[in-house]
A = this chain, B = another copy of it.
Amino acid sequence: MITIKEIAKLANVSPGTVDRVIHNRKGVSEKTAQRIRQILKEHDFKVNRIAQSLAMKKKYTIAVLLPNHDEENQFWKNPLEGIQKAKEEVMSFGVDVKTFSFDQKSPKSYVASFELLLKTNPQGVVLVPTFKKETKELTKVLLKKEIPFIFLNIALTGHENLCFVGQDSFKSGYLAAKLMQLCLNENDHILTVHSRPNLSNVNNISQRIEGFDHYFKEQKLNNTNHKIEVEDFWDAEKFTEKIASLLQKQTKIKGIFVPNSRAHIIAKHIEGMRGRIPYLIGFDITDHNSRALIDGKITFLISQKPFQQGYRSVSSLSKFLLYKTPPQSEILSPIEIITKENLPNGQQKEYAIFP
Which chain B residues border A355 with CB–CB below 8 Å? 49, 93, 315, 318-319, 322-323
**At the interface, yes or no: A342 with Cβ under 8 Å from chain B?**
yes
**Pick from B318, B341, B353: contact of A353, CB under 8 Å:** B353
Which one of A84-92, A103-111, A131-139, A189-197 is at the interface?
Answer: A84-92
Asked if A51 CB lies within 8 Å of chain B CBs, one says: yes
Interface size class of A (residues with CB under 8 A): 35 or more
Determine the chain B residues whose CB is within 8 A of the CB of A16 once the complex forms: none
Within 8 Å CB of A319, what residues of B? 354-355
Instruction: Indicate whether A53 reaches chain B with its CB closer than 8 angstroms.
Output: yes
Q: Which of B91, B174, B341, B348 contacts A175 (CB 8 A)?
A: B341
A305 to chain B minimum Cβ distance, whole angstroms, is 9
B175 touches A350 (CB 8 A): no
Is B334 within 8 A of A348, CB to CB? Answer: yes
**Are A336 and B336 touching (Cβ within 8 A)?**
yes
Indicate how many identical chains form the complex: 2
Complex CA gap A335/B336 in Å reads 10
Q: How far is the CB of A339 from chain B (nearest CB, A)?
A: 6
Out of B89, B350, B354, name the residue touching A90 (CB < 8 Å): B354
Contact of A48 with B92 in the complex, beta carbons under 8 Å:
yes
Contact A353 B354 (CB under 8 A): yes
CB-CB nearest in chain B for A47: B92
**Complex Cα distance A86/B340, Å?**
32
Output the nearest chain B residue to A312 by Cβ-Cβ distance: B350
In the complex, A89→B46 CA distance in Å? Answer: 12
Q: With a CB–CB cut-off of 8 A, which chain B residues contact A1?
A: 91-92
Q: In the complex, are the beta carbons of A354 and B171 less than 8 A apart?
A: no
Q: Return chain B residues, CB-CB under 8 Å to A341.
A: 171, 174-175, 178, 335
**How many angstroms between the C-alpha atoms of A143 and B248 in the bound complex?**
67
Judging by beta carbons under 8 Å apart, are B339 and A175 in contact? yes
- Considering the complex, give the chain B residue whose CB is closest to the CB of A49: B92
Residue of B nearest to A305 (CB): B350
Beta-carbon contacts of A84-126 to B below 8 Å, as 1s and 0s? 0010011111000000000000000000000000000000000
A 159-212 contacts with B by CB, 8 A: 171-172, 174-175, 178-179, 182-183
Q: Is the CB of A50 within 8 A of B174?
A: no
Residue of B nearest to A337 (CB): B337
Interface centre among A48, A51, A350 (most CB of B within 10 A): A350
Q: Which residues of A contact B (CB under 8 A)?
A: 1, 48-51, 53-54, 86, 89-93, 171-172, 174-175, 178-179, 182-183, 299, 308, 315, 318-319, 322-323, 334-337, 339-342, 344, 348, 350, 352-355
- The 5 nearest A-B residue pairs measured at CB: A337-B337, A175-B341, A335-B342, A50-B92, A352-B352
A-B pairs with beta carbons under 8 Å apart, 23 shown: A1-B91, A48-B54, A49-B92, A50-B53, A50-B92, A54-B54, A86-B354, A90-B354, A171-B341, A175-B339, A175-B342, A178-B341, A179-B339, A182-B182, A182-B183, A318-B354, A323-B355, A334-B342, A334-B344, A335-B342, A336-B342, A337-B337, A353-B354
